[in-house]
Structure 1
Amino acid sequence: MPTISIFYGIIIQMFWQEHPPPHFHALYAEYEALINIHTLEVEKGFLPKRAMVLVLEWAIEHRAELMEAWNQCAQMQSPQKIEPLS
């Protein structure tokens, strides 16, 4: 599972050949959330409020890059890294 970004202890990953809808996994400590790229809604899992705010801020800034990474993973290609939240 490729890691596409890391910031403030949060790891953003995608699986190869993952099921629709387009989404990414955000991991923070023992928590994990699967987040829809189009709606930015949590499809499964949970993150603490502060971590979730940071993930959503980052995802809004990088939505196009997330879709590109999704498409690369769907084709079994390694996605490009995405700049962390600064």
Structure 2
Amino acid sequence: MPVLSLFYGIIVRMYRENTGKHNKPHIHAEYAGDEVVISLDGGIPSAKMKLFEAWMEIHKEDLQANWHLLSSGEQFFKIDPLK
């Protein structure tokens, strides 16, 4: 995947779309081995993204547990919303 930019340790990449595999325009941003996919057509407003990131941080262990359960074909559990 071509690197479009690199700054402050953040690597910005974009797939070549010669196969038509992807539908929505987006980029991949990677930092310290973690990656996010960001839509170029809007996506989640930044204020809501901050709420989502806070929820993820609070429920990090629950998310990891659900990842392992679902990866093993087991039943997942619901995670409380942000209140």
Of structures 1 and 2, the one with the larger relative CO (CA 8 A, separation 6+) is 1
What TM-score, normalized to structure 1?
A: 0.48
Structure number with higher strand proportion? 1
